[in-house]
Amino acid sequence: MQVNNKVIIVTGGGNGIGREMVLNLLNKGAKVAAVDMREPALIETFKLAGNKSTNLTTHILDITDKEAVAKFADEVVALYGKIDGLINNAGIIQPFVKVNDLKFTDIERVMNVNFYGTLFMIKAFIPHLLNRSEAYIVNVSSMGGFLPVPGQSIYGASKAAVKLLTEGLYAELLNTNVKVAIVFPGAIGTNITLNSGVEGPKMPAGNSPKIKMLSPVEAAEIIINGIQKNEVRIFVGKDSKFMDILYRFNPIYATKLIGKKMKSLLPD
């Protein structure tokens, strides 16, 4: 789907990949409704849009509030007259601890934002998207959604749920005008730890990460280009592509490899 002149909603549009997707879409001629819980973040996104901000509206919304999401859908459709695309990007990670040490409040928060928030948005907008001659639903999962990452097991479970939900939607909407894509970001240089309200893992003295991260700008370009190419599975980063292949070929080896890399970052 070419994004020029399309109206597209982006959740998590106040920072990181979400913000960069908003700016990328605007530069490609789309009209964008940016959604986030943090008003200062949305204000900054609006400022960064510069002269493209005439095609941008910002909306404070808690996507875990089912009733608020339903109301928002009616409001944004009334505002624009149509909706052509929905990018479910908003997501949070869990504290870097094992399941045994993870509080139920943290578990519920991660599942509510990552899975139910995505589901509520989909349910609210599918009826509107089905009325368009061409439309797109894009759900952002994670590399942790297809292989286990110790210390992020519940986050991974929430993103695996997004993956299967998206694949089910793809199958259900095959004979409609609504295209569906799933995104698997690898290591991206964002502030997701801070924005999730959790502390980063404790790095051992003298041991710094050696993972090459993509910038949010690069990640956004890959995702939006994938939409314009009608891709169904969009891998963001060489690490994501590689681990997808490795995990399908040898899941035990891949699991042990990730476990080894995470071991020094987790409490015993």
Is there a domain that residue 268 lies in?
no
Place of tokens 């601890």: 97
pLDDT of residue 263: 77
State phi, psi for 36 to the nearest 5 degrees: -165, 165
Tell me which of 80, 116, 136, 155 is the catalytic residue.
155
Q: 215, 189 in Cβ contact below 8 A?
A: yes
Is there a domain that residue 120 lies in?
yes
18, HSE (Cβ side, Cα atoms, 13 Å): 31
Whether pLDDT at 175 is above 90: yes
Say how many domains are in the chain.
1
Is there a domain that residue 172 lies in?
yes
Whole-angstrom Cα distance, residue 252 to residue 234?
24
Is there a domain that residue 228 lies in?
yes
Query: How confident is residue 208, by pLDDT bands cut at 50, 70 and 90?
Result: very low
Query: How confident is residue 205, by pLDDT bands cut at 50, 70 and 90?
Result: very low
Whole-angstrom Cα distance, residue 61 to residue 34?
10
For 47-103, write each residue's pLDDT tens digit.
Answer: 999 999 999 999 999 999 999 999 999 999 999 999 999 999 999 999 999 999 999
Closest CA to 240 of 195, 196, 168, 187: 187
Q: 166, 126 in Cβ contact below 8 A?
A: no
CA distances from 64 to 146, 190, 235 (A): 24, 22, 26
| 50 C-beta neighbours (distance < 10 Å), count | 12
User: What residues make up the domain containing 207?
Assistant: 7-263
Average pLDDT over residues 119-127: 98
Whole-angstrom Cα distance, residue 55 to residue 231?
25
Average pLDDT over residues 4-25: 97
- The one-letter amino acid at 201: P
Average pLDDT over residues 118-147: 97
Active site residue 136: no
How many residues in the chain?
A: 268
Domain with residue 139: its CATH number is 3.40.50.720
Average pLDDT over residues 208-214: 67
Average pLDDT over residues 174-199: 82
Is there a domain that residue 96 lies in?
yes
Is there a domain that residue 2 lies in?
no
H or E element at residue 7 = strand 7-11
Is there a domain that residue 94 lies in?
yes
Whole-angstrom Cα distance, residue 146 to residue 162?
10
Task: Indicate the burial class of 177 (C-beta count within 10 angstroms; 0-12, 13-18, 19 or more).
Answer: middle
Q: 84, 28 in Cβ contact below 8 A?
A: no
Is there a domain that residue 1 lies in?
no
